[in-house]
Chains A and B, each alone.
Chain A
Amino acid sequence: MRSSLTSANREGWAFALPGIVLIFAFIITPFILAFGFSLTNQRLISPNPTRYVGLENYQQMLGLAFVTLDAKQDPNGKVATDPSGHPEFPPLRTITRNADTPQYRGMQEWFRWETGTQAHLVIARDVVFWKALVNTCLFVLIVAPVQAGLALGLALLINQKLRGITLFRTIYFMPVVVSIVVVSLLWRFIYDGHDGLLNNMLAGLSFGHFHPVDWLGNPHTALGSIMVMSIWQAVGFHMVIWLSGLQTISPTLYEAAAIEGSSSWQTFRYVTWPGLRHTAVLVLIVITMQSFALFSQIDVMTKGGPLDSTQTLVFQAVQRGYGLQDIAGGSTISVILFVIVLSISLLQRWLTRER
């Protein structure tokens, strides 16, 4: 049986065809290929034939273990300490290269914490992947609410009827139309450790008391610096989405609230926010997806460093696939990212559903 969708709508399908072809060529096919590659040992260029390896890539990528090391003891049974009185621990390789514990073979330390004479270690088969995963999640967890909140604040500000308000709208929106690569390059100068704008400004504001920081060269500040820049760059885009949501709220609702004696906060709570419900879902999902796809800023500004403090999933996928020619590894990361983003989107939809 032919449905009306396939038979009676030839022109419609003809118009949709270019889009369908492009989506198939650049989204659906690569996705299926990536899923396939992630189950093989495919390399970009290799004389060896490709081999099916099952879930080995995933095991390699996700392999985690928790081990405890006891402090070294001298022959008298006394805990050995370094000159500062800190207990000394045996190196990790006593476990990872131990024939008695083959399951830890090849694993590396991700992080550790110590309790008295014991050190607890989380070891991973692929530490860089885990760092990238944590950095990406951290980025999303901070950027999504902050960027959405700031964008809403700006939208509320520029939604007022003031002289020259379009000028402010333009200014806030301007970073969005500039390429992220250009923005990243400019901010590299701002964050420069020697003579950067930020350091100079902070020094000026603190009358020289501020000691210059190499914002992108310091593992403690690099990811934060990239977050700040990313929030600044795209906040205008989400501001415009919020603004369009704000402008669908009928002005008489505000007038009614004013007559009922509503304060600014109450007006926001009872009139504005409920009216922005659908916009909020859209903004949050879009920011979440964009944040998970964090790549250009990293590629231009830090290349994942220093000390892997700015590694992200997409950057790792690209670096492995093309830098290390490990297509299978890159594909595996892509599939893992896909599963994460899909789950979060479904969760967000469920949390914000109509009740």
Chain B
Amino acid sequence: MSMLLAICNLGRILTREGREMAEIKLRGLRKSYGGHEVIRGVDIDIADGEFCVFVGPSGCGKSTLLRMVAGLEDITDGTLEIGGQRVNEAQPRDRGVAMVFQNYAIFPHMSVRENMAFGLTIAHASKAEKAAKVQRAAEILQMEHLLDRRPSQLSGGQRQRVAIGRAITRNPGVFLFDEPLSNLDAALRMDMRMEIGKLHKQLGTTMIYVTHDQVEAMTLADKIIVLRDGQVMQAGAPMELYQNPVNRFVAGFLGAPSMNFLDVEIVAADNETAKVARPSMDPIVVPTRGRRFVPGARAVLGLRPQHISACAPDQGVLHGQVTLTERLGSETVVDLVMQDGKNVIAAFGEDKEFERGQRVDLIFAPEQAHLFEEES
């Protein structure tokens, strides 16, 4: 019986080419420098094979959190588990992780081949094993023709590919990406983003990816963790966060252009809806999504630019004058100023022409609006 259990366990552990299962648990993780706390109690669960993106503005602690998982930063308090083992004090090499850095961190004096085989060289692997693993990684990344070059002969995108290749050859349980695309130009960034997405599908390994770019987060992630000031604001699937942000910060961070926020007054409220108004907007009934509001209180109405549309003159609920138009071909982004001086951005899903100063009347579907408590 125990034999059977052991075999089952072995089968579970040795899935996918002998790689260890690597679900990751962060429990009450804290980090402080001197007296200054930069990670303030973070709880995250990442399932084996999941692509998890830490996203947030600069200084929110996302890179620090990743480096704590990697073992490059000490953990002040809390527990970090990888594959069911507590690894708080484990050396980076004992955590079964591979990391890709923003500035590539490839060794300038080694050829691409030597760079990719570095982890194996360190572990005194045989020549044949090195050659086979480097070959496989190069095939995955379609860079067999670059293997004998020096890093100085490579473009930025190719260098990042080498760094990813070095991670692949180690066959780690977890891939860690620290803003890997930030040093690349816009076109290359999109290509590499898709490649990383494909890589995850192909390898099926747990990946943690840090970025400040919400587009990367939305497109790549199985799960997004939005961080702010060292705390998790919200964790969940990209669309869940997009459609049901728990607070104004998450709502404003995800989606481009970002959500409009209008200060409103609660005119009336019941369990599911609230009627809100502001001087430049006609009263309207919007869903409260479980939040409680009392009449007379102040609140913030969140409207995604994409959910606002133009309507016939003298109808609609918002009225503004055009100050700036950005025509993108498939989309037209208009910056409007309302009578009380508040700016609203609307994104129309078609190409439209507006004059500067033109009066535009806008409506939006109330069920797509978000109502947040006013922040203290």
Q: How distant is the Cα of A317 from the Cα of B99 in the complex, in angstroms?
A: 61
B105 with A255: CB separation less than 8 A = yes
Find chain B residues with CB under 8 A from A257 CB: 118, 122
Task: Please tell me which one of the listed residues B92, B109, B121, B170 contacts residue A258 in the complex, with CB atoms under 8 A apart.
Answer: B92
B107 with A252: CB separation less than 8 A = no
Find chain B residues with CB under 8 A from A252 CB: 101, 103, 105
A260 with B103: CB separation less than 8 A = no
Task: Please tell me which one of the listed residues A259, A266, A270, A275 contacts residue B92 in the complex, with CB atoms under 8 A apart.
Answer: A259
| B119 close to A (CB within 8 Å) | yes
B99 with A259: CB separation less than 8 A = yes
| B97 close to A (CB within 8 Å) | yes
Given the known interface contacts A271-B107, A274-B107, the answer about A255 and B101 at a Cβ–Cβ threshold of 8 Å is yes
B123 with A261: CB separation less than 8 A = yes
Find chain A residues with CB under 8 A from B103 CB: 250, 252
Q: Which residues in chain A, 248-275, are within 8 Å of chain B measured between CB atoms?
A: 250, 252-253, 255-263, 266, 270-271, 274-275
| A10 close to B (CB within 8 Å) | no
Find chain A residues with CB under 8 A from B97 CB: 259
| A194 close to B (CB within 8 Å) | no
Task: Please tell me which one of the listed residues A258, A274, A275, A277 contacts residue B72 in the complex, with CB atoms under 8 A apart.
Answer: A258
B105 with A250: CB separation less than 8 A = yes
Smallest Cβ distance from B157 to chain A, in angstroms? Answer: 18
B107 with A261: CB separation less than 8 A = no
Q: How distant is the Cα of A258 from the Cα of B70 in the complex, in angstroms?
A: 10
Range of interface residues on chain A? Answer: 10 to 19
Q: How distant is the Cα of A259 from the Cα of B97 in the complex, in angstroms?
A: 7
A270 with B107: CB separation less than 8 A = yes
Find chain B residues with CB under 8 A from A260 CB: 93, 98, 118-119, 122, 166, 170
Q: How distant is the Cα of A263 from the Cα of B121 in the complex, in angstroms?
A: 12
Find chain A residues with CB under 8 A from B166 CB: 256, 260
Smallest Cβ distance from A262 to chain B, in angstroms? Answer: 5
| Number of B residues, CB within 8 Å of A | 24
Q: How distant is the Cα of A252 from the Cα of B104 in the complex, in angstroms?
A: 9
A261 with B119: CB separation less than 8 A = yes
* A254, closest chain B residue (CB): B105
Smallest Cβ distance from A276 to chain B, in angstroms? Answer: 11
A256 with B101: CB separation less than 8 A = yes
B93 with A277: CB separation less than 8 A = no
* A255, closest chain B residue (CB): B72
Q: How distant is the Cα of A256 from the Cα of B97 in the complex, in angstroms?
A: 11
Given the known interface contacts A252-B103, A266-B122, A270-B118, the answer about A259 and B98 at a Cβ–Cβ threshold of 8 Å is yes
Q: How distant is the Cα of A63 from the Cα of B103 in the complex, in angstroms?
A: 62
Q: How distant is the Cα of A258 from the Cα of B123 in the complex, in angstroms?
A: 12
* B163, closest chain A residue (CB): A256
A253 with B105: CB separation less than 8 A = yes
Q: Scoring B residues 137 to 170 as 1 if CB is less than 8 Å from chain A, else 0, what string do you get?
A: 0000000000000000000000000000010001
Smallest Cβ distance from B110 to chain A, in angstroms? Answer: 8
Find chain A residues with CB under 8 A from B105 CB: 250, 252-253, 255-256
Find chain A residues with CB under 8 A from B119 CB: 260-261
Find chain A residues with CB under 8 A from B92 CB: 258-259, 261
* B100, closest chain A residue (CB): A256
Q: How distant is the Cα of A77 from the Cα of B118 in the complex, in angstroms?
A: 75
Given the known interface contacts A250-B105, A256-B99, A271-B107, the answer about A262 and B122 at a Cβ–Cβ threshold of 8 Å is yes
* B176, closest chain A residue (CB): A259
Find chain B residues with CB under 8 A from A266 CB: 122
Q: Scoring B residues 63 to 99 as 1 if CB is less than 8 Å from chain A, else 0, what string do you get?
A: 0000000111000000000000000000111000111
* B67, closest chain A residue (CB): A255
Find chain A residues with CB under 8 A from B118 CB: 257, 260, 270
B122 with A277: CB separation less than 8 A = no
Find chain A residues with CB under 8 A from B91 CB: 258
* A263, closest chain B residue (CB): B122
Q: How distant is the Cα of A256 from the Cα of B92 in the complex, in angstroms?
A: 10
Smallest Cβ distance from A134 to chain B, in angstroms? Answer: 38
Find chain A residues with CB under 8 A from B110 CB: 270, 274
* B106, closest chain A residue (CB): A256
Q: How distant is the Cα of A270 from the Cα of B107 in the complex, in angstroms?
A: 8
Give the one of B97, B98, B105 with max A CB within 10 A: B105
Find chain A residues with CB under 8 A from B71 CB: 258-259
- Residue positions of B touching A, CB distance < 8 A: 70-72, 91-93, 97-99, 101, 103, 105-110, 118-119, 121-123, 166, 170
Going nearest first, the 10 A-B pairs with the smallest beta carbon separation are A261-B93, A256-B105, A274-B109, A260-B119, A252-B105, A259-B92, A258-B92, A259-B99, A252-B101, A262-B122
> Can you give 11 contacting A-B residue pairs, CB < 8 Å?
A250-B105, A253-B105, A255-B105, A256-B99, A259-B97, A260-B122, A270-B110, A271-B107, A274-B107, A274-B108, A275-B108
